[in-house]
Structure 1
């Protein structure tokens, strides 16, 4: 009985064991299936992890891009703030400009009205001007005719005056020479019979007759200038100036001038007449420098606009420019006869000669410091080195 129980227990145990083994096999199969599923899950998890890593990398890049875009947006926002301020400023300026334009338009409208008024006035003025021009034209025609008539009268009068001056000067020379001649006879033959007052009177007669003779000679020379024909030729001014200086005569008690002759351009003119101009100007420079310890005379020229400007400069007595208008007049003197002798015709002769050459003559001076006389002549067509 005991063995039967053991056999039953063993049979039950075997059945139990077989059942357990069956369970184990089921479990084993389930484990295989679970392992397969786990392997599939692991692979899926690994794939998902890779996808997540890629996504994470993409998110990092996206975050960086987003951060960059945010920075750009902030910059753009700042720029927009500045642009808005600038726009607001421009709007204010436009409003100001608009206000100015309104004012300008009003001003323009006013000016247009004024212009229309002015235009109407100009129309009236032009009509009046046209009438005035017609009147002036008539007056000019009448004046021109009067000028022609007056010029003819003046030319006739000048010819008569020159003829009269020549005649008077020529006719006066003989009696003046006679007076001077008789005075010299008295001096030579009867001086011992004259007392001091008589001798003084005789000296005065001789001095004044000589002075009158010089005056008549100058007046005659001046009247001849109106009739003398101007013969134009090329003039070597350097040679001409040196010739004039060489021909000068000086008294023993006179200062011998120191001359400075600069480059003198050649000119066109009547050589004999231009020589007289130089004689008169240089003689005046010497005369009005006689009271100076030393006499300096400078002569030079300059060329401009096909004219040659010559000058004679001294360090003499000079004259007051206030009386310049009298300088070139006939018998006009700016110094007393007692201080500087002369007839008062020399500069008038200079002016007349220069005028006949279509030139001009003028002077500059400072009292007690000296004078500078200028005159112009047409420029020579020959260069300097041709002479």
Structure 2
């Protein structure tokens, strides 16, 4: 409520007080008028009219007072509401001021952090520039190293090509030499063997027991020398033979091999335990030689046993088929395994088991030319198991 309204209200109250006094005066006058009514009859109408007017004025003034009172109540409620709103706004202003102070503090912190970050960024930029310079230097050095390596690789490739050509030429010369030597030795060996037999047939009666023993030794050793030359020729030819791949039915091939090398009936006939053998990719004639050599070895090294038992089987893994041949023969000491596939290397004496020491070297060479592997497991006096792998058909 404004000051003007307050002033009006004060004036209205004074007016009401004045009017109350006037009412009292009018009441007094009314009493006087009633007393004088009899003699003032002529004035009665006038006074009655004035009284009616005064009552109407009084009623109007009372109505105005009630309106002013209602307005005053409303003004007081509005004033109370405005005071409450002012208090709320004051509280909100206090909270806003606190929030503003907090935000200013945060801004100062962020400004400090930003300053530090800018310093760190400037430091990092300097470090990046240093690293960029170092990287450029390293790249130059790396490019130089790559160029050097490229030159070395080209030189190495050239040397490898030259060494490969030299090795191929040396292998061909070696194979040719081996073939020539072996071929040229066959005639003298045959001559020695033939002439020795002639001596035995024509002049045998002229020799005593020691002489006959010497002649028989010459025949035996010339025969052994002939077998050795034959094996050496076979090993030499193997390097020149072209491998022709086809599907090899192992069951049929093994049947052919066993039929060819099976001993006569009056000897220790081997007992075979043959499992199902999957087919493989390979050169049939060469794979046949592998089976012949391995089975022959199994029979030979089991010859001192009462029974010759040989187990043959296979297993599949991925695109490889691995075959095995297991005997219960003499076996060998695994500490000498590195000599097993060497040319002319033997793990048993000639007196114990005959042989030239080339058979397993031939087997290994054939398997390697088929991109396969071959290995063995053995225990002395308990037997041996050979494994070799080929690509399955």
Same fold (TM over 0.5): yes
Is 1:254–1:290's contact at 8 Å kept on the other side of the alignment? no
Q: Does 1:289 align with 2:302?
A: yes
Q: Distance in 2 between matches of 1:319 and 1:249?
A: 24
* More off after superposition, 123-132 vs 267-276: 123-132
CA RMSD of aligned residues (A): 2.4
Runs of at least 5 residues in structure 2 that lack an aligned partner in the other structure: 1-126
Larger-Rg structure? 2
Match of 1:177 in 2: 190
Q: Does 1:207 align with 2:216?
A: no
Q: Alpha-carbon deviation of 1:170?
A: 0.9
Q: Alpha-carbon deviation of 1:305?
A: 2.0
Q: Distance in 2 between matches of 1:250 and 1:192?
A: 35
**TM-score, reference length from structure 2:** 0.62
Match of 1:336 in 2: 349
Change (3 A) 1:249 1:262: closer
Is 1:235–1:271's contact at 8 Å kept on the other side of the alignment? yes
Match of 1:89 in 2: none
| 1:89-108 to 2 correspondences below 5 Å | none
2:316 equivalent among 278, 303, 306 = 303
Q: Alpha-carbon deviation of 1:135?
A: 4.8
Change (3 A) 1:209 1:327: same
Q: Does 1:368 align with 2:381?
A: yes
Q: Distance in 2 between matches of 1:312 and 1:142?
A: 47
**TM-score, reference length from structure 1:** 0.63
Match of 1:147 in 2: 160
Q: Alpha-carbon deviation of 1:289?
A: 1.2
1:222 equivalent among 224, 232, 235 = 235
Q: Does 1:345 align with 2:343?
A: no
Q: Distance in 1 between matches of 2:141 and 2:260?
A: 67
Q: Distance in 1 between matches of 2:217 and 2:307?
A: 31
Q: Distance in 2 between matches of 1:128 and 1:287?
A: 66
Structure 1 residues 323-382: Cα deviation after superposition (integer angstroms, max 9, x where no partner): 2111111111111111111111101111111111111111111122111111111211xx
Q: Alpha-carbon deviation of 1:162?
A: 0.6
Partner SS, residue 364 of structure 1: strand
